[in-house]
Structure 1
Amino acid sequence: MMKRYYSFGEYLKEIFGKKVYKVNVDAGFTCPNRDGTLGYGGCIYCNNASFRPPSCTPELSLTQQISKGIEHIKRKYKAQAFLVYFQPYTNTYAPIEKLEILYKEALSFPEVVGLAIGTRPDCVDEEKLELLRELSKTHLIIVEYGLQSIYDKSLKFIHRGHDYATFLKAVYDTHEKGVLVGAHIIVGLPTETYEESLSMADEINCHPIKFLKIHQLQVVKNTVLARIYEKHPFKVFEYEEYLQFVVDFLERLSPDIVIQRLFATSPDEILIAPRWNRTKQQILNDIERKLEERNARQGSKCSSIRNRALCC
């Protein structure tokens, strides 16, 4: 069966020769857009419960969270290798001494092959990147930067607290240290047209970004965005329209970029819009079906061939 897009699971199997499972952890970080450094309340769409898995329990120590996660996944899947994912909030937003302790604690487990670290592009510096460079000599280290949009008008609208230039600087600084870079984007913001969201694929192709997470804009409870949506409802992706968008986007995205996520899944109890009433597996199956119907694949309409040495 032809591979329609380059999945994260496929990438990890290529690197380690076996399936690698993620263990999500909450190490107790906050965010400069919440603690008053840049602002309060975070980005306008942000309700941390919308992306925090139930397994993330900050009441437990980091070692306890990892041990519990590994035990559960081993029992369920007979897993042998794990990637610890520092997910909630900004996971480089602490003094270097604290970061070193936390990262090395996570890597002390013999079954842990690496770390994925979610953070903001304005929360890294030379010292932190040097630490990640050292860790990457023995483990897979991925820094996942929240970009959300390449358009400063959109970053301003969502109160992101940084511009696109800040993201690019972090990407190149990280790449120059030999550390792999991932990016998160949100598509369907009311500040952007369909084509503007789609054009982010062309822009991402131009930079040393190895991994990508694509999220459709979701309106969730207890956010500024929810209050905006209640007063002035704006268009969000309908289900079939989003399937079409994903296929269009993948066709324009370089085939060597690893897809970590193709859509967002907020809990039903806090999700306002869009409500698709589909399971994660149903959405994945429908994306595959749409790709097959169009005989489409990642990169089939990529406008340029990027230098693979940039990101591998």
Structure 2
Amino acid sequence: MFPPIHPELRFHNYASFLRRRLGGPAARISVEAGFTCPNRDGTRGTGGCLYCNNESFTEGVLFPGLPVEEQVRRTIASHARLKAFRKLLVYFQPYTNSHAPPEELERTYRAAFCHPDVVGIVVGTRPDCLGSAVLDVLEGIARERYVSVEIGLQSISDDVLAGINRGHTVQEFMEAVPAARKRGIDVAVHLIYGLPGDTRVNFVAAAGILSDLGVQGVKLHHLHVVSGSNLESPFRRGEVRVPEYGEYVGACADFLERLCPEIAVIRLIGTAPREMLLAPLWGKGSREMSRDVAAELQRRETWQGSLRKEKT
């Protein structure tokens, strides 16, 4: 193993990445910008993603519905732990945060810099919502501050993406990443393990694709079923399989072994409010997941990138 691999975790953790990238410890705070998604409003479909109930993804948004500036100020004031950080990133989290006119995006993004400790923004979005006009806005901010986009890919199979009603293709993702990188914008990618019709082989193969594209971060998430999602009914009918915990730990280890060590691992597990989560009921959090994946890598005597095959 070698830097930036964490010697105990055996993978490149996000805190270390931010420390190097921003010159000191940094934390993220989540806000809601009030946008929707193109597969909800008719642009690319209706109904949203099969697995999605956005209420389950916004636990970190403390003051939804308020102006962005007010959300930022109140979140910082209400979190004692944030006082230890002089560098904060504002994370535009729920829905698709580049699905709006450029002028509105400009106002919304710049509103995040209302506090002197905010040094950058992280924009959760989709590959089909990063056109040139959006990238113009992000590039303008990136000249002055840190900017990252977190792109939801979820699967490298177009059939799987169609089945979960994503409304975009893998090719759109393959075009969006280099377009953002050329503008000086960092890119992180979301993937989900266990989607209906997907395979472990596909999940692991995505590590090579992301490595070749040169992204900066990755978020891994297991399929879970939440109440109010379009996945709830087929799950209750016994038509949906969710992964076992040990299976997912092993799949994450497989993935990390093939992931470029320069790519930061932002997350290894997804969470949902207990009252909304139907399955799987693992009772595991981020720290436990990181510990168990690290233990599996140690058992194998491997680490992030140890089985990576360089592109020829």
Please classify the TM superposition score into its range, dividing by the shorter chain length.
over 0.9
- Of 2, 7, 15, the residue aligned with 1:2 is 7
1:287 to 272, 277, 293: 293
| Code of the aligned partner of 1:247 | A
Structure 1 range deviating more: 139-148 or 107-116: 107-116
Residue 123 of structure 1, aligned match among 115, 121, 129: 129
Distance 1:56 1:35, change over 3 A: farther
Q: Distance in 2 between matches of 1:290 and 1:246?
A: 9
What is the deviation of 1:75?
5.1
**For the structure 1 residues 211 and 75, does the alpha-carbon distance in structure 2 shift closer, same or farther, using more than 3 Å as the test?**
closer
* Aligned residue among 129, 135, 152 for 2:141: 135
* Correspondence for 2:38 among 25, 32, 41: 32
Deviation at 1:54, TM superposition (A): 4.5
**What is the one-letter code of the residue matched to 2:300?**
R
What corresponds to 1:299 in structure 2? 305
**Alignment of 1:257 onto 2:263:** yes
Extract unaligned runs of 5+ from structure 1: 307-312
Q: Which residue of 1 aligns with 2:108?
A: 102
The superposition leaves residues 235-280 of structure 1 with CA deviations (integer Å, 9 ceiling, x where unpaired) of 3211111111111110011111111111111112111111102233
Query: 2: CA distance between counterparts of 1:194 and 1:290?
Result: 17
1:230 Cα deviation (Å)?
1.9
Relative distance call for 1:267 and 1:88 in structure 2 (3 A) is same
Deviation at 1:59, TM superposition (A): 2.3
3-state SS of paired residue (1:224): coil
1:206 counterpart residue number: 212
Q: Which amino acid aligns with 2:78?
A: H
Query: Sequence identity, in percent?
Result: 38
Match of residue 17 from structure 2: 11
Q: Distance in 2 between matches of 1:276 and 1:230?
A: 18
Distance in 1 (alpha carbons) for counterparts of 2:186 and 2:258: 22
Answer whether contact 1:70 1:82 (CA < 8 A) is retained. Answer: no
- CA-CA distance at 1:156 after TM superposition: 0.7
User: What's the offset of the Cα at 1:77?
Assistant: 5.1
* Aligned counterparts, 1:50-199, within 5 A: 50-74=56-80, 78-199=84-205
What residue identity is the alignment partner of 1:155?
L
SS at match of 2:79: helix
Query: Which amino acid is the alignment partner of residue 246 of structure 1?
Result: C
The Cα of 1:141 is off from its aligned counterpart by: 0.3
Instruction: Output the CA distance in 2 between the equivalents of 1:278 and 1:208.
Output: 30
For 2:64, the aligned partner's letter is P
Q: Distance in 1 between matches of 2:285 and 2:189?
A: 24
Q: Secondary structure at the match of 1:206?
A: helix
Aligned residues: 306
Counterparts of 1:268 and 1:99 in 2: how far apart (Å)? 33
TM-score (norm 2): 0.93
In 1, Cα distance between equivalents of 2:287 and 2:177:
32
Partners in 1 of 2:23 and 2:98 — Cα distance? Answer: 30
For 1:231, which of 230, 237, 241 is the aligned residue? 237
Write out per-residue CA displacement over residues 132-164 of structure 1, whole angstroms, 9 at most, x where no aligned residue: 112111211001111111110110110111111
1:38-53 equivalences in 2 (<5 Å): 38-53=44-59
C-alpha separation in 2, matches of 1:192 and 1:75: 39
C-alpha distance in structure 1 between counterparts of 2:77 and 2:214, whole Å? 35
The farther-off stretch of 213-222 and 223-232 is 223-232
Distance 2:82 2:29 in 1: 13
- Unaligned stretches of 5+ in structure 2? 1-5
Q: Is the contact between residue 215 and residue 261 of structure 1 (CA under 8 Å) also seen in structure 2? A: yes
